[in-house]
C-alpha cells in the first residue's frame, strides 16, 4: 500500500491490526505515513504521528520525513517547519531527505530564505546537497522573482559537481520569466543552452519560456515557441496557449490572440478562466469592447467561475470606449457573483457614476464603505462627499437634502456645517454634533486608512471651520505629531514642498483653471485654491476612500464650490476631462500639479499634450521625483525640444525631513 500510494488501504490495515491486537510498532506507522505522504494527506500523516506518540512509541527520522514530505505535498509550510523544530528538540538527527522535503515545503509556502539557509547549512551538518536540494531552493527563489540567486545556485551546482536536471533548469527559466520584463531574451538564451548541457527541455520548460516572452508582449516569440513544442512532440496545453494569448494581448494584437484561441480549440484544448481572462484583456487592449463582453458572457455561461481579473479587463474595455452603461451593468454582475471589487474597479464604477450624474447610485456605493472590516469613513463623511458632488454639478438643494439625515441624527460634523452654509442651508440648529477625537491610537497607525482617518478626525477637532490656513495647519500638526514619530511617510506635500507649490501656481497665467493629479487627502488642493482666489481647481484621485476624506477636508476649508474632487485613475479620467472641458468650452489649465507615482508622470503628461489641456505659459509642478523617480518625464520637459523651461528644486518631506525633489516647468508660448 505504501509503494502504491494506497493510503486508505494502509490506514484500514493499520486499524485492522489494532482490532486484532497485533502489536503496532514504529515501522507500521512509518509505512502508513509514507502512503499518506505520496497522496499529500498531510493531516492524516500528522494524526498518525500523534497516535504513535500516544502509544508511547518514539518517532524516527523516517517518521518525520514522511510527515514533512506529506506537508510539502500539501503546501503546508508552517506544519513542516514545526516538525523540523520538533526533531531538533527531540534530538532526532535530520537526514538529507528531511531537508529536501522541508525545502520543498518552504518553496511552496514562499519562504525562499529558509530554503536557501537550509542549503547553506547542510555542509555544517556533514550533509552534501543533491539535485533535489538545489532544485527546491532554486524553485523557491523563482517563486520570489530572485532570478540572480537562481542563476547563482545553478553555478554553485556546477562548481560542486552536482548535475542539474530538467526540473532544475526549468526552475531557473521560471525565475528568469518572473524577473524584469526585459529578461525574455535571457530566458530564450538559457533555453538554447539547455540543449548544450544535454538537458532536453520539457513542456514545463517551454511554458516558462512562453511566460517570459509574455511579460514583454512578444507574441511572435510565443507563437514560435508553441510551434517548436509541436515539433518536439511536447504537450501544448492550456497553460501554453493561455500564456501565448496573454502575450498577444500585451503586444496589442487582439487578432493574434483570437487566432491562438482558435488553434487551441482546434487542438482540443479547452480554455480555463486564465485563458478567457487573457482573451478579454487582449480585446480590451485592442479597444474591442464588444469582443471583451462576448468572451466574458461565454465564460459566465461555460460553468467556470470568472475571476476578478476577467471583470476587471471587461470593465476597462467598456470604460475606455465610454460605454458607461455597460460598466454599471458589469459591476452589478460582479456583485451578483459575490466578487468584491478592488480599488481599480471601484474607481472606474464611481467615475462612471460621476460622469453620468448618477448621484444616488454613487451615494449608495460609497455608503458600502462604512461598516466593513477595519477603519472606514463614517456616514456623515460619506454624506459630505456625496453632497460636495451635487454642489459641483450645480445642485445645491440636492446637496442640502443629502446632508439632512446627518443634521437630524446628531452626527453633524464641522465639514457638513461649512458645506451646508455654502449650499445655502438654513433653519433649526442641528442636534449635538459628533465629538471628533484626537489622533487615532498608535496601534492602528498601520491599518489601512487609519492614518488618513486619524488626520481627518484631528482636522475636524482642531481646525477653524471655513479657514483653509487653519485646516492645512491641522494636517501639518498631525503629520509632525503622529506620522513623524512612527516613521510613516505622510504623502502630504507640506512645509517646504507647499511653499514651492504655492509660489509656482501663483505665477501661472490668468484665465485658466488648476489641475491636480493625485488628490490624496486634499491638502495640496486646499493650499492651491487658497493661494489662487476665484480659480477653479479640479483634482483626480483613484482611491474612493481617499476621495471621501479629501472632499471632507475641502469642505471643512470652505472650498467645495471651487475645488472639485473627481474619482478615477489619471489614465482613464484625463481623457474624459479633456472631452468634458471641450464640450463645456472650458478654458485650458494654467497650472498642473502632478503628485502620484513619478515613474508614470510621462504617461499623464502625454495625455495632457494630446488633449491640448495646457495653456501657453502654464506652470507644471511635479513632486516625488527623487522618492519614486520620473526619468522619462524629466527628460521630456528638461531636455526635449525646447517646448518647456524647467527647474528641479531640492526639498524635504513633511514630518520625516527626508530629501526629495520637485520640478517646476513652464510651457513656452509659441
pLDDT at 2: 45
Strand order from edge to edge, sheet including 644-652: 563-567, 537-541, 513-517, 589-594, 614-622, 659-667, 644-652
Containing 644, the helix (H) or strand (E) segment is: strand 644-652
pLDDT at 444: 43
- In tens, the pLDDT along 491-522 reads 888 888 999 999 999 999 998 999 999 999 99
The answer to whether the beta carbons of residues 170 and 204 sit under 8 Å apart is yes
**Coil, strand or helix at 540:** strand
Question: Does the pLDDT at position 69 exceed 60?
Answer: yes
pLDDT at 274: 93
The pLDDT-based confidence of 485 (bands split at 50, 70, 90) is: low
What is the average pLDDT across 431-443? 49
Domains, the chain, ranges and CATH? 1-164 (1.25.40.10), 449-667 (3.40.50.150)
Q: Average the pLDDT over each of 143-147, 200-204, 585-589 and give the range with the smallest value.
A: 585-589
β-strand partners of 614 = 589
Question: Does the pLDDT at position 440 exceed 60?
Answer: no
The pLDDT-based confidence of 587 (bands split at 50, 70, 90) is: low
- C-alpha 164/C-alpha 385 separation (Å) is 61
What is the average pLDDT across 312-339? 90
Q: Name the more confident of 228 and 370.
A: 228
The answer to whether the beta carbons of residues 420 and 443 sit under 8 Å apart is no
Question: Does the pLDDT at position 291 exceed 50?
Answer: yes
- Residues contacting 68, CB < 8 A, separation 6+: 80, 83, 84, 98, 101, 102, 105
β-strand partners of 644 = 667
The answer to whether the beta carbons of residues 99 and 66 sit under 8 Å apart is no
Most confident of 111-115, 183-187, 258-262: 258-262
Q: Average the pLDDT over each of 10-19, 266-275, 415-424, 595-604 and give the range with the smallest value.
A: 10-19
Question: Does the pLDDT at position 247 exceed 70?
Answer: yes
Closest to 528 measured CA to CA, from 461, 463, 619: 619
pLDDT at 439: 46
Give me the chain's average pLDDT, please: 85
Report DSSP letters for 364-393, one per residue. HHHHTTTTSSS----HHHHHHHHHHHHHHT
Quote the cell numbers at residue 667: 510651457
**Coil, strand or helix at 585:** coil
The pLDDT-based confidence of 103 (bands split at 50, 70, 90) is: confident
pLDDT at 269: 92
Question: Does the pLDDT at position 34 exceed 80?
Answer: no
pLDDT at 364: 86
Question: Does the pLDDT at position 384 exceed 90?
Answer: yes
Question: Does the pLDDT at position 272 exceed 50?
Answer: yes
The pLDDT-based confidence of 588 (bands split at 50, 70, 90) is: confident
Closest to 643 measured CA to CA, from 612, 599, 597: 612
pLDDT at 158: 81
- C-alpha 218/C-alpha 211 separation (Å) is 10
Percentage of the chain lying above the pLDDT 70 cut: 89
CB atoms within 10 A of CB 322: 14
- Angle of helix 254-266 relative to helix 273-285, nearest 10 degrees, comes to 150
Q: Name the more confident of 572 and 465.
A: 465
Amino acid at each position: 500500500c505504501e509503494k502504491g500510494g494506497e493510503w486508505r488501504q494502509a490506514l484500514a490495515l493499520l486499524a485492522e491490526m489494532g482490532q486484532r491486537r497485533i502489536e503496532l510498532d514504529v515501522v507500521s506507522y512509518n509505512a502508513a505515513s509514507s502512503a499518506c505522504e505520496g497522496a499529500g494527506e498531510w493531516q492524516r500523516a500528522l494524526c498518525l504521528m500523534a497516535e504513535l506518540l500516544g502509544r508511547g512509541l518514539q518517532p524516527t527520522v523516517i517518521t518525520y520525513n514522511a510527515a514533512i514530505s506529506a506537508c510539502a505535498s500539501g503546501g503546508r509550510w508552517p506544519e513542516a517547519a514545526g516538525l523540523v523544530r520538533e526533531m531538533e528538540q527531540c534530538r532526532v538527527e535530520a537526514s538529507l531527505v528531511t531537508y529536501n522535503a522541508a525545502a520543498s515545503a518552504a518553496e511552496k509556502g514562499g519562504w525562499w530564505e529558509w530554503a536557501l539557509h537550509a542549503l547553506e547549512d547542510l555542509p555544517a551538518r556533514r550533509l552534501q546537497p543533491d539535485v533535489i536540494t538545489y532544485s527546491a531552493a532554486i524553485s523557491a527563489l523563482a517563486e520570489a522573482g530572485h532570478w540572480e540567486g537562481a542563476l547563482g545556485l545553478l553555478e554553485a551546482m556546477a562548481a560542486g559537481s552536482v548535475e542539474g536536471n530538467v526540473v532544475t533548469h526549468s526552475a531557473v527559466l521560471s525565475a528568469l520569466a518572473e524577473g524584469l520584463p526585459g529578461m525574455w531574451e535571457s530566458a530564450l538564451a538559457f533555453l538554447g543552452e539547455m540543449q548544450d548541457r544535454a538537458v532536453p527541455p520539457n513542456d514545463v520548460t517551454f511554458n516558462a519560456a512562453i511566460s517570459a516572452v509574455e511579460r514583454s508582449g512578444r507574441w511572435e516569440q510565443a507563437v514560435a515557441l508553441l510551434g517548436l513544442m509541436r515539433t518536439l512532440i511536447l504537450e501544448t496545453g492550456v497553460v501554453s496557449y493561455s500564456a501565448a494569448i496573454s502575450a498577444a494581448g500585451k503586444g496589442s494584437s487582439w487578432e493574434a490572440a483570437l487566432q491562438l484561441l482558435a488553434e487551441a480549440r482546434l487542438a482540443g484544448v479547452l480554455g480555463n478562466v486564465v485563458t478567457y481572462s487573457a482573451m478579454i484583456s487582449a480585446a480590451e487592449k485592442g479597444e474591442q469592447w464588444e469582443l471583451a463582453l462576448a468572451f466574458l458572457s461565454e465564460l459566465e455561461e461555460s460553468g467556470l467561475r470568472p475571476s476578478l481579473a476577467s471583470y476587471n479587463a471587461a470593465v476597462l474595455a467598456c470604460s475606455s470606449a465610454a460605454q458607461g452603461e455597460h460598466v454599471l451593468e458589469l459591476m452589478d454582475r460582479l456583485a451578483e457573483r459575490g466578487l468584491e471589487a478592488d480599488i481599480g474597479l471601484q474607481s472606474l464604477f464611481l467615475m462612471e457614476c460621476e460622469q453620468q450624474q448618477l448621484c444616488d447610485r454613487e451615494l449608495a456605493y460609497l455608503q458600502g464603505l462604512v461598516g466593513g472590516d477595519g477603519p472606514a469613513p463614517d456616514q456623515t463623511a460619506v454624506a459630505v462627499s456625496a453632497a460636495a458632488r451635487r454642489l459641483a454639478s450645480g445642485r445645491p438643494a440636492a446637496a442640502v437634502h443629502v446632508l439632512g439625515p446627518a443634521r437630524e441624527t446628531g452626527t453633524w460634523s464641522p465639514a457638513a456645517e461649512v458645506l451646508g452654509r455654502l449650499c445655502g442651508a438654513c433653519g433649526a440648529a442641528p442636534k449635538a454634533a459628533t465629538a471628533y477625537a484626537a489622533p487615532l491610537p498608535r496601534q492602528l497607525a498601520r491599518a489601512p486608512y487609519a492614518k488618513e482617518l486619524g488626520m481627518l478626525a484631528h482636522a475636524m477637532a482642531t481646525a477653524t471651520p471655513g479657514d483653509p490656513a487653519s485646516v492645512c495647519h491641522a494636517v501639518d500638526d498631525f503629520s509632525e505629531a503622529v506620522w513623524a514619530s512612527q516613521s510613516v511617510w505622510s504623502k502630504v506635500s507640506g512645509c517646504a514642498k507647499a511653499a514651492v507649490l504655492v509660489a509656482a501656481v501663483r505665477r501661472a497665467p490668468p484665465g485658466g483653471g488648476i489641475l491636480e493629479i493625485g488628490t490624496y487627502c486634499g491638502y495640496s488642493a486646499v493650499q492651491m485654491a487658497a493661494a489662487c482666489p476665484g480659480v477653479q481647481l479640479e483634482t483626480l484621485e483613484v482611491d474612493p476612500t481617499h476621495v471621501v476624506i479629501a472632499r471632507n477636508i475641502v469642505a471643512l476649508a470652505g472650498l467645495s464650490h471651487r475645488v472639485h474632487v473627481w474619482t478615477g485613475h489619471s489614465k482613464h479620467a484625463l481623457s474624459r476631462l479633456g472631452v468634458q472641458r471641450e464640450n463645456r468650452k472650458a478654458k485650458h489649465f494654467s497650472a498642473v500639479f502632478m503628485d502620484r507615482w513619478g515613474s508614470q508622470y510621462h504617461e499623464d503628461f502625454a495625455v495632457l499634450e494630446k488633449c491640448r489641456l495646457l495653456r501657453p505659459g502654464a506652470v507644471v509642478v511635479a513632486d516625488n521625483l527623487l522618492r519614486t523617480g520620473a526619468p522619462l518625464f524629466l527628460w521630456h520637459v528638461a531636455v526635449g525640444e525646447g517646448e518647456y523651461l524647467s527647474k528641479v528644486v531640492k526639498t524635504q518631506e513633511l514630518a520625516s525631513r527626508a530629501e526629495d525633489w520637485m520640478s517646476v516647468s513652464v510651457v513656452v508660448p509659441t
